[in-house]
């Protein structure tokens, strides 16, 4: 069992000593963390953050820009300088001060060099943020960077690089996620405000239509009043004319000749004068 365990540890060591293999492992771990926190629309893989450059950063967070089709990218690159870290651990295990100091300086130099590469390749405001994130895949490696006096501050001031480990990267992405939600709420609020403005405009037009309709109805009512006045005037003129029952009136009208129906009356002038009276 011990031999099997030793063989497994040896296989893992060979993987970690291979630059390409451990780089792929760090990139996969970084991708898993980002996938768990952000939605696919909020980040992208293998992004060309600097216009005109062929350098592609492993991951970039899509931040809102001045235009929706031109986002501002936050570059995130995974680094795993395991050789220098392992030499430092071996020197600490040997408790030789000179080796510890030399290995520590070499480790710090490697971190500074990686930060400089990230800054020169991927930072280009206003297309990107004015800083980038260097992701270290193990908490031990990240803790060693934090333990080095002034190293984190120097990376931030000299190269504009923020160093993160697995735990605090997830926390940083969670805070960005809350910021995205706040921006979404503000955007929707502005859209609601625009809709309310449109409703206000349409409502004023609706009021004008209602007012015009009311005026038309009032005019029609006045016309009906005039019809009533004329009706009463006609009734006063016809008051002395003898009225017939409904059936008799209908029979009399149907018995009139067609010419009479067309011209009204065909009697003599005395009849017409009596009817006019």
Q: What is the pLDDT of residue 114?
A: 92
Task: Give CA–CA dist 249/243, Å, rounded.
Answer: 8
Residue indicated by tokens 């009021």 = 207
For residue 257, report the phi and psi dihedrals to the nearest 5 degrees: -65, 160
Which segments of the chain have a pLDDT < 50?
15-16, 19, 260-277
Q: What is the pLDDT of residue 70?
A: 79
Longest dimension (CA), the chain: 149
Q: What does each C-alpha distance from 275 to 168, 171, 229, 241 come to in angstroms?
A: 109, 105, 22, 8
Task: Give CA–CA dist 21/29, Å, rounded.
Answer: 12
3-state class (DSSP) for residue 126: coil
**Distance spanning both ends of the chain, measured CA to CA:** 136
- Element at 180 (helix H, strand E): helix 166-237
What b/e string do you get for 208-225 counting C-beta neighbours within 10 Å, with b at 16 or more? eeeeeeeeeeeeeeeeee
The conformation of residue 274, written as its DSSP 8-state character, comes to H
Q: What tens digit of pLDDT does each residue of 45-78 get?
A: 998 888 888 889 989 998 877 666 678 899 999 9
């Amino acid at each position: 069992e011990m031999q099997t365990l030793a063989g497994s540890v040896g296989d893992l060591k060979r993987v970690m000593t291979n630059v390409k293999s451990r780089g792929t492992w760090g990139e996969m771990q970084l991708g898993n963390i980002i996938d768990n926190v952000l939605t696919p629309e909020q980040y992208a893989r293998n992004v060309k953050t600097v216009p005109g450059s062929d350098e592609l950063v492993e991951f970039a967070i899509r931040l809102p820009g001045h235009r929706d089709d031109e986002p501002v990218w936050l570059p995130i690159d995974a680094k795993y300088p395991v050789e220098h870290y392992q030499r430092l651990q071996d020197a600490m295990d040997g408790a030789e001060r000179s080796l510890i100091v030399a290995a520590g300086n070499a480790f710090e130099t490697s971190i500074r060099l990686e930060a400089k590469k990230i800054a020169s390749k991927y930072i280009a405001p206003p297309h990107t943020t004015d800083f980038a994130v260097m992701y270290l895949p193990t908490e031990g490696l990240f803790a060693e960077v934090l333990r080095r006096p002034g190293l984190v501050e120097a990376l931030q001031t000299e190269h504009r690089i923020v160093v993160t480990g697995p735990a605090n990267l997830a926390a940083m992405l969670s805070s960005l996620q809350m910021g995205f939600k706040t921006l979404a709420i503000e955007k929707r609020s502005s859209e609601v405000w625009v809709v309310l403005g449109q409703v206000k405009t349409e409502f004023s037009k609706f009021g004008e239509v209602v007012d015009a309709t009311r005026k038309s109805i009032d005019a029609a009512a006045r016309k009906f009043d005039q019809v009533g006045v004329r009706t009463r005037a006609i009734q006063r003129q016809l008051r002395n004319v003898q009225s017939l029952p409904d059936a008799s009136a209908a029979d009399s009208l149907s018995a009139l000749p067609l010419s009479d129906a067309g011209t009204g009356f065909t009697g003599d002038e005395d009849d017409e004068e009596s009817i006019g009276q």
